Chain A
């Protein structure tokens, strides 16, 4: 039945003047004739200016208006001004009036959006300054948190009954036991790679057998503990940050505090203690797995039997093992501390949890490698 009707006079959607026309009344007042569909879907085509001053409009003619929704009404309000629209709408039929009056009233009541900040030529400089001072503030925060955790840790160790055993064991399982497969596998592979490299280079000089020493020294002193630390930084620092961050978002940490509990004691100490216990074990495992990887390659490439491999490893001075293991508690503490601090720094939104988690991983890996380099320098100078 729609087809049988004569089509409406030319109303191509692109032309602005299709929506609006001004007619002069006999008394000289301007009548605003509205046409077509003033709706959300046509928002971009709706006129942005009146052909006459808004104050001179004396009436609205909506006979040709096919549709009007709140978007169209708010554009009208923008054109005419909210007060003027309210006054003009009073003369319209009830069903249109309700919408126009509501929109005009709400715009009048809602106030205006804040003016955009003026462009600043020094903005990059300001940003640099902000970043620097934020970095310094973060360092202060980190050192402060370190002190706080050390004090609480001391208290917990002096009064062991205050240590939360269940939570600690749970963290040991999540951060330690569940990391065993990945730590073992990756260390084994890296051990094999190091042995391959050694075999390739050293065999040229007829010193292929020193491949065993290469693997043993590198894994006992450096790679065992470093690999374990990097894996835990990725696996555990991130999970600490996400767990505590989500608790912060849910106001669980505030709830703890109002219940008279210390969030550091309840949440941080179990994590720190758990890592301090399991990380040296994981490092040891990584060393063993790396040596096993080396032994496998030695057997295949150099025909060195595992017994011979072990015999050579036993001749490596044991202090190298202790140099490696000595770094384990430091790394464990660093990872736990940074993960927890980043969690506490979350500020209430989902994206903040993501940002802090990323930051925890990056910082943990950064500090672990930094400390490892410093320790290597120190040990070299000391002749250890």
Chain B
């Protein structure tokens, strides 16, 4: 059986008086694309940020590849995953190519020209049109920002990829292409993907398993077919509401 790349155990997070997670458990296995869904404000982004060490849990722990990020192996661990933030978080003072080259220069000590060359290869891999590689982020469309940010997340050849609502704000065609891109990259690079999404189509097109977040816990984490048949009011509303039925129909 494939090993767990992410292990979340008993995670409790809190902002002031707001408790976001109460003893949340979750496991992501090597090579799978796990979709994390839940209503707005149920703590999907916070869970992602807890996994990558940006939010400190009040209780419980997160292990990546069996190690804790705040342990001695932390810095080495950080290079083994890449993150695509919800709004891309491209550095606005650098061109797209420089954005991707930045971690290569910083972490691998590559000289600038070689880092830029490798950056262009990464951009191509993420499906970014290279004639736009010298542009600044503000001159990019939404879909291009996501692809550029994905290329930067892939810069150090990570084994694990975190994506926060990668298709939010994209048109359905661009979003569909992005879903397929994630699957192809997973197959080609052997990635493990933690994918937060609102997009039902993404769940159907890209995810191997789905975890549903509600009331501070993971209600269920299983294949889409099993999750859909779980008896819970929110899940029923989500998967069997008009949009859920449309997405399911589109998949057949």
Q: Which residues from chain A sit less than 8 Å from chain B, CB to CB?
A: 39-41, 43-44, 69-71, 74-75, 77-78, 98-99, 101-103, 106-107, 109-114, 347-352
Contact = CB atoms under 8 A, between A and B. Distances in A.
Chain B interface, >50% SS class? helix
Contact of A70 (B110, B122, B131): B122
Interface stretch (B38-46, B132-140, B168-176, B244-252): B132-140
A216 B38 CA distance: 70
Contacts of B185: 102
Interface of B: 92-93, 97, 104, 108, 110-111, 114, 118, 120-131, 133-134, 136-138, 154, 156-157, 184-185, 187-189
Contacts of B156: 40
Given A69-B189, A347-B138, A106 B125 contact: yes
24 contacts: A39-B157, A40-B108, A43-B114, A43-B118, A44-B111, A44-B114, A69-B189, A70-B154, A71-B121, A74-B124, A74-B125, A78-B121, A98-B188, A103-B125, A106-B126, A110-B130, A111-B130, A111-B131, A113-B134, A114-B134, A347-B138, A348-B92, A349-B92, A349-B136
Contacts of B157: 39-40, 69-71
Contact of A107 (B108, B118, B124, B134): B124
A180 to B, nearest CB: 33
A109 B92 contact: no
Contact of B188 (A40, A102, A114): A102
A103 B126 CA distance: 10
A380 B97 CA distance: 59
A103 B138 contact: no
A110 B129 contact: yes
B130 to A, nearest CB: 5
A103 B124 CA distance: 8
A113 B130 contact: yes
B251 to A, nearest CB: 23
Contacts of A347: 138
Contacts of A114: 131, 134
A114 B120 CA distance: 12
A70 B108 contact: no
B136 A113 contact: no
Given A102-B187, A110-B128, 5 more contacts: A43-B114, A99-B189, A114-B134, A349-B93, A351-B92
A99 B131 CA distance: 23
A110 B124 contact: yes
Nearest to A98: B188
A181 B80 CA distance: 52
